Structure 1
């Protein structure tokens, strides 16, 4: 199993490389190019941010959270983003990382994690279900692809949610 640890600025290159691998699939994000580290960093919660390391210490996956709203009532709700390096897929990295992020998010007072996943990304939908997320439905024709094999096509997004059973249960 991979080693899970906190992401640091030293991980920027590996994190952005793995992000590019996801972009290259055409089924991970509407983004067509990897942002610079400052832009990537600016839109994410400061904690938790996790990376998964392979046996050689190389970063093989990462997970971060983004706020869903600036309203205080949504302070315990965050959108999760998780990416696994192409070479590490199917090896339990995603499950280990997503499980660790769920636990780390609860330690930070997060009671609900949401995920938006392109309908065609069946492996990610399965991963999230395995880790306690439920499918709420599909956001139809949410965005039009500007690149890749589905350029010019509207994409449906599976909207998934995991509600903590330890935080926000009062």
Structure 2
């Protein structure tokens, strides 16, 4: 597979991406403990999630596509960290890369674009929860300026077992 970043472009997500984004996310729901959702979604069920990430403001959706194919290769989001008002300057971030598109630097490109888009927002910290084990995601987050801050032990149950979540933070 090519490894050149030039074959990938990153842009804000749009409603026309909904079906492909849902399919990508559903792979992780069905096959992994990377997300703690346990039931797959229809595109209509995912629409509120997509609409909660406008093209401006602190809660964004960035999508990576192939330059020629426009196939969605991954996405990154910033979402509310917690609902209480004092948390408004914190966001939770996440990255999902299509299984066949890993190890091409797409996660890094997505985070770079996301943090550039967020640079003018009134934000103080970004947080990322990574279900364990997931060394690749830990390395990605550290490369992008996150630092490990702690682990919630056995915080989620999926596929008949409990999973830990390591937490990372990044100053914005």
Fold agreement, TM-score > 0.5: yes
Q: How many angstroms apart in 2 are the aligned matches of 1:12 and 1:38?
A: 7
Q: How many angstroms apart in 2 are the aligned matches of 1:121 and 1:54?
A: 25
Aligned partner (choices 3, 13, 30) of residue 9 of structure 2: 3
Alignment pair present for 1:23 and 2:29: yes
Q: How many angstroms apart in 1 are the aligned matches of 2:100 and 2:14?
A: 22
**Following TM superposition, by how much is the alpha carbon of 1:105 offset from its aligned partner in structure 2, in angstroms?**
1.9
Q: How many angstroms apart in 2 are the aligned matches of 1:81 and 1:124?
A: 10
- Which runs of structure 1 show a deviation greater than 6 angstroms over 4 or more consecutive aligned residues? none
Alignment pair present for 1:102 and 2:111: no
Alignment pair present for 1:79 and 2:92: yes
Match of 1:37 in 2: 46
Match of 2:164 in 1: 156
Match of 2:64 in 1: 52
CA contact under 8 A between 1:77 and 1:112: conserved in structure 2? Answer: yes
State the secondary structure of the residue aligned to 1:132: coil
**Following TM superposition, by how much is the alpha carbon of 1:38 offset from its aligned partner in structure 2, in angstroms?**
2.6
Q: Which moved more, 1:117-126 or 1:46-55?
A: 46-55
Match of 2:142 in 1: 129
How many residues in Structure 1 have an aligned counterpart in Structure 2? 158
Q: Which runs of 5+ in 1 are unaligned?
A: 146-150, 165-170
C-alpha distance after superposition, 1:61-86 (max 9, x if no partner) = 11112212233322111111210001
Q: Which runs of 5+ in 2 are unaligned?
A: none
Normalised by the size of structure 2, how large is the TM-score?
0.84
CA contact under 8 A between 2:64 and 2:73: conserved in structure 1? Answer: yes
CA RMSD of aligned residues (A): 1.6
CA contact under 8 A between 1:132 and 1:162: conserved in structure 2? Answer: yes
- Counterparts of 1:140-155 in structure 2, within 5 Å, are 140-145=153-158, 151-155=159-163
